[in-house]
Structure 1
Amino acid sequence: MGQQFWTTVILDFLIALGVVLGGVMLGGVGAFLADDYPMFKMLRLAEQLKIWAMVAAIGGTFDMIKNIEITILGGQINLALQQLCFIISAFLGAHTGTVLIRWMIQGEY
């Protein structure tokens, strides 16, 4: 596992984190401008944006699934495990963003 692997893991984490945080913050501003309850809307958005943050971070689900299939069928288990690490990294970034939003607005876990 070289530098490229760790660079991709870090980028996937931070991209997913940024999608959740940015989407929730701008969604909260939109809820405020629409005279809605921003805190409630922000909690809902954080949960709804998790999957989209993961998809954005890994570059699309179909390509990732195809890569895993090719590497497993080709006998390259090491590459398949790397792809799974990228997915886990993106999930952790999206989940961290959701936890941070809940913490900032003192929402329920």
Structure 2
Amino acid sequence: MLQEAFFFSFFKAFFIAFGVLVGGSMLGGFAAFITNKPALNEILELSRNLRIWAIIAAIGGTFDTLYSLEKGFMDGDTKVLFKQFLLILSALWGAQVGYSLISWFTQGD
């Protein structure tokens, strides 16, 4: 049961980071289009700026993760440390995949 919950959280972190980045960038590009600004440039710039926020949103804020890391360090529970590291890595990967997709879409970088 615990293993299922971890894999669910692992994939959830990836897709939340991916969705925040892609959705926020696309909606921001739509707003740029409405206000007569270059939409593709704005989408690419927003995707650069939203990466850290997508990661934070995916791991559920910083306090739960920091508490789990503290528990892992102070109690010597390496399993908790490893799981938190994998969740953060999953969120980083989701944000990077979203940024790469948008960069390819806008022909930026």
Q: Give the 4+ runs in structure 1 shifted more than 6 A.
A: none
Distance 1:47 1:101 in 2: 10
Structure 2: runs of 5 or more not aligned:
none
Counterpart for residue 66 of structure 1: 67
Q: Deviations over 1:42-82 (max 9, x none)?
A: 11100110000011111001221121011211010111110
Residue correspondences, number: 108
Counterpart for residue 87 of structure 1: 88
Counterpart for residue 18 of structure 2: 17
Distance 1:105 1:41 in 2: 10
Distance 1:97 1:103 in 2: 10
Amino acid at match of 2:62: T
- Same amino acid, percent of matched pairs: 39
Counterpart for residue 97 of structure 1: 98
Counterpart for residue 37 of structure 1: 38
Distance 1:46 1:105 in 2: 11
TM-score, normalization by structure 2: 0.95
Amino acid at match of 2:15: L
TM-score, normalization by structure 1: 0.95
Distance 1:63 1:26 in 2: 29
Structure 1: runs of 5 or more not aligned:
none
Counterpart for residue 76 of structure 1: 77
CA RMSD in angstroms comes to: 1.0
Distance 2:72 2:64 in 1: 12
Q: Residue 95 of structure 1: CA displacement?
A: 0.7
Counterpart for residue 27 of structure 1: 28
Amino acid at match of 2:95: A
